[in-house]
Amino acid sequence: SQKIEQNSEALNIQEGKTATLTCNYTNYSPAYLQWYRQDPGRGPVFLLLIRENEKEKRKERLKVTFDTTLKQSLFHITASQPADSATYLCALETAGNQFYFGTGTSLTVIP
């Protein structure tokens, strides 16, 4: 069956450290992989997209890697800040133009 798995446990890190979130998938052939941030009571907000032929993408303190052989994406937040505390969702877009989301990882950055 198709599955998208993110870190099942909440992630707590100290301010200034690098947070690394994992997204693993099975039985999908994504054209794109996206990362979204979701704050409590709000809709998800797009952060980064990486294509199947790209290995790495950066935006400010954010970095995403995509390994289609391992079927895994890693999402890094460097120099983390308390304001980065939120739930982070990965999403796959298939060639059929449908989006499939993971369950999300809750990140807390401790001052």
Binding positions for another protein, rule: CB under 8 A: 4, 32, 34, 41-46, 49, 89, 91, 93, 97-104
- Minimum distance of another protein from residue 105's CB (angstroms): 11
96 or 111: CB nearest another protein: 96
34 or 73: CB nearest another protein: 34
- Minimum distance of another protein from residue 27's CB (angstroms): 14
69 or 98: CB nearest another protein: 98
Count the Cβ atoms, other than its own, within 10 Å of residue 12.
12
